[in-house]
Amino acid sequence: MAKKSATSRRKPSASGSKAAPKPRSGYQLVIVESPAKAKTIGKYLGPGFVVEASIGHIRDLPSKAPKGSKQPVPGVDLDHDFAPTYEIDDGKKKKVAELRRLAKDAADIWFATDLDREGEAIAWHLTQVLDVDPLQAKRVTFDAITKAEIQRAFQNPRAINMPRVEAQQARRIVDRIVGYQVSPILWKKVAGGLSAGRVQSVATRIVVERELEIRAFTPSESWEISAGMGFNVQAAAALHAEWTSFMARRDERGRPPLIRERTAWLADHSGLECDLVEVGGKSLGIKAENTSTADLSGAVHAAAEAAGLLDIELVRDTDSSAKGRGRNCIRLHGRPDPLARYTVESIDVTRTRSRPYPPFITSTLQQAASSRLGMSTDRTMRVAQQLYEGIDLPDEGRVGLITYMRTDSTNLSREAIEMARRYLQERHGAAYIPEKPRTYTSSNESAQEAHEAIRPTDAFRDPDSIADALRAMRDGEQLLKLYRLIWQSFVACQSTDAEWDSTSVRMRRSDRDTGAVFKAHGRVLRFDGFYAISGTPKDDGDQVLPDFKKGTQLAPFDIEPKQKFQAPPPRYTEATLVKKMEEEGIGRPSTYASIINVIENRGYVIQQDRRFHATAIGEAVTGFLKRGFHDQFIEIGYTREIERELDQVAQGSKSWTDMLHEFHGELSPKLEEAMEQEHEKAKADPSPYACPQCSRRLEYRLGGKGEFLSCSGYNEKIIDEPVAVPAAKGKKATKKAKPKPRPACSFAMPVDRQRRPLLPEQIDLLSPAGVAMVKRTGRFGDFLVEDKPRPIKPKGKKAQEAALAEPPPFILNLDRKGNIKFPSPPPLVTDIACQKCGAMMNLREGKRGPWLGCQAFPKCRGREAFTKLPETRQKELVKALATLLHGRTALSLTRRDGITPVADGIPVASLTMPGSVAELPLFAG
């Protein structure tokens, strides 16, 4: 199936790691993935077992092809049925040696890695490095780390499931092919450092297309007229003043009273909120489509007047940031008619039910944790992993608290359902147990029903009983919150429905025959059912309507016409993006979190207020891939089909090599087509601005970090005449250099998300000369420089004079992590020759002491071991270096207050002050 690397073909060695003592002969060796899991399992297996962790994968495809090899995809032989070659990860060689030593003396080897495809593949790789026949291997799997589950698993070992291993291998090779054959095209056609991926590119596309929808969206307009009605008709005028005062309040975020706060106020003041639904025998329908030019203010005025609003004043305003009808803002003000009366003409009460949601699968857990707890998908999975692998509890020791957290099945075992029903019977009574147990089936066709949903391992271990133990741990609050969420979901899903009385009341104006009819809705919880476990919803703002009869009179104390504009499609949150990927069949439970991490880290999307925005780079990459691979991996339907075929491989109904031949056969011609596409950086989009240096039009262009403004003169070339060199006596004058073309204007400026020009980002830092620093982007990345006007560079001899008269600005570089990097002290040039190139060696003081490096760096990377020099020679050089550095003042920088010191290595993000919008002249040409 796969080629073994030279490392994996070696026989187990008797000499292993010295870190672990050699166990006694005849023991049972159990290999799991993580040390935490090993600790928990070891508790249940007893002294005859040695449990070791592989710490994840031990082998992978190599990142580079061997020297002399022309493999376009490292580790994958495209010409021989995609045969993979694996190598042991550098960081795992010591671990593999230790496992080989333990395996040599073990009576049996048990492979207890996770039960998903990734875990199956890890188990197979372990059999390869330990020389175990995978068909004879003892493979054990379990949904939960409990004594009963562990004992069941070890009583029923099986062989390695090779179709599942082949499915994981096929997925890995497909992703490797896309990464290594498509990404280089992006480097050439879009920008360096970018990457394409079978799943990440589609996830980026989903966010980008939502961004384009929002950008192209123009709203339709509609109107609603709401009213506050009071039962004390004589107090309506006084209630109007109190309501107006209440609605004028703002919280610390500047928000008006929330729905539930308004509902509570109305209940305290014998009032209710209702909506106008009918005027003159016709349903209220004041609206206009986004293409309409109709003015709705007349219809709104008439409806508000019919409802009882007097002294109506109309105010118009313009929202320049909106589109279409959204630009025309209209407000209607007035006062309720103190003589207006409404009479209840009908009361309709119906009994409704709310059903509990199914237990969690990976995607719904991530969605709930994001929306209710504010946890990222990645954080959710790491916390869930801790709960699964085991927590130390008083009187119990180490216990796995939940079942396996990577699952797409809502199935529950018979034992789990009975446990939940017993808990409900003992703690809440028979009324909270449905007559028949609830069963749930997944709508996902590929869901593996043999697996269980995510649930607590013991329903009687309620969150409050273990709260202190969890809080005592690192990240204890998150552990407790996520466990509570999982526990509530599981127990509630086996409880009864909640029951509500929903009331609808119609009120017709009775003091005048205008045909105005208002409708009020309310809801009262009559039986809490599963809400006794999960908690009653608190954010829906249902108003509780009092008991009143047909013919009851009410008076309006507030009538408010509201202009509404259709909202654009909402941007994705982590929760809704996971839901979308699940609906479209993109990725699998184990990959959702990593997909989101990748598209964020690549800079294709960013999160603002917990919602995803596509970046200019993300849009450019998606646009390019759609044009070049329009019916290939960038298509959602195609990606879904690949997932379906991988499922078929896992089920043994399709050959993994056939699947790869089909995939690569369709991809190969697209690679050539994509190379013919126009370079994204070559495209220019005219802007409305003029260049402040030469008055040419500025253009929007794409750079390595997104869009920026560039002068159109950059593409116009000016030929500088070569400088004449005075001739020596008796010789002719010569030219110093050949003519060189240069841009007519190289002005450039960053832009914000609205494509507005931005001034450079200000940095809360002063140079040694006391000049404020700003961040700029150069050829080799970001750097900090003094905020000084850029002088016009003279030519020839005047340039030399100007350089002497005006010292260069102070510059600070940033390292790869975006941290400030102080200039290094000068090295001591020694008389020691580099053995590689013959240049002299530099002596520097490093974190671990003096070290020698070639003076020709980076062309030569020769190093010498300083400690190998004779001791007397070492002392001489150290003394000479100290003399060189003596009296050199250490660099000392402060923030702009001139007091607060700034240390070397501080993240520049902590000092960044956002650049403000620049004012540029408009292009008049």
For residue 564, give both structure tokens: 């509404």
pTM of the model: 0.77
Percent of all residues in the chain with a pLDDT value above 70, rounded to a whole number? 91
Q: Confidence class of residue 111 from pLDDT cuts 50, 70 and 90?
A: very high
> What angle, 0 to 180 degrees and rounded to 10, lies between the N-to-C axes of helices 162-189 and 656-675?
0
Query: Which residues belong to CATH 1.10.290.10 in the chain?
Result: 356-496
| Spatial distance between the Cα atoms of 853 and 828, rounded to a whole number of angstroms | 10
| Spatial distance between the Cα atoms of 96 and 13, rounded to a whole number of angstroms | 10
pLDDT at 138 > cutoff 90: yes
pLDDT at 93 > cutoff 80: yes
* CATH number, span 221-353+499-565: 2.70.20.10
Decide if 604 is catalytic.
no
Question: Averaging pLDDT over each range in 35-39, 115-119, 208-212, 788-792, which range is the top one?
Answer: 208-212
DSSP letter at 825 equals P
Contact indicator for 786, 760 with CB cutoff of 8 Å = no
Higher pLDDT, 74 or 804: 74
| Spatial distance between the Cα atoms of 479 and 384, rounded to a whole number of angstroms | 8
Catalytic hit among 404, 423, 432, 638: 404
Is domain 171-217+569-680 given the CATH code 1.10.460.10 in the classification? Answer: yes
Query: Which residues belong to CATH 3.40.50.140 in the chain?
Result: 6-160
**188 pairs with which residues across the strands?**
none
Query: Which residues belong to CATH 2.70.20.10 in the chain?
Result: 221-353+499-565
Higher pLDDT, 588 or 297: 297
Q: Confidence class of residue 736 from pLDDT cuts 50, 70 and 90?
A: low
pLDDT at 549 > cutoff 90: no
| Spatial distance between the Cα atoms of 527 and 514, rounded to a whole number of angstroms | 41
Contact indicator for 175, 532 with CB cutoff of 8 Å = no
Q: Confidence class of residue 302 from pLDDT cuts 50, 70 and 90?
A: very high
Question: pLDDT tens digits for 235-287?
Answer: 888 899 899 899 999 888 788 888 888 888 888 888 899 999 999 889 998 99
For residue 523, give both structure tokens: 């809801």
Query: Which residues belong to CATH 1.10.460.10 in the chain?
Result: 171-217+569-680
Q: Which fold has domain 356-496?
A: Topoisomerase I; domain 4 (1.10.290)
pLDDT at 159 > cutoff 60: yes
Burial annotation 206-239 (CB, 10 A radius, 16+ → b, else e): bbbbbbeeeeeebbbbbbbbebbbbbebebbeeb
Question: pLDDT tens digits for 387-434?
Answer: 999 888 888 888 899 999 988 889 998 999 999 999 999 999 999 999
Average pLDDT over residues 693-711: 86
Quick count: other Cβ atoms within 10 Å of Cβ 21? Answer: 6
* Least trusted range by pLDDT, from 273-277, 495-499, 523-527: 523-527
Is domain 6-160 given the CATH code 3.40.50.140 in the classification? Answer: yes
According to the model, what pLDDT value does residue 774 have? 87
| Spatial distance between the Cα atoms of 49 and 542, rounded to a whole number of angstroms | 58
For residue 826, give both structure tokens: 């000068």
Q: Confidence class of residue 776 from pLDDT cuts 50, 70 and 90?
A: confident
| Spatial distance between the Cα atoms of 22 and 78, rounded to a whole number of angstroms | 43
Average pLDDT over residues 361-383: 91
pLDDT at 456 > cutoff 90: yes
According to the model, what pLDDT value does residue 9 have? 35
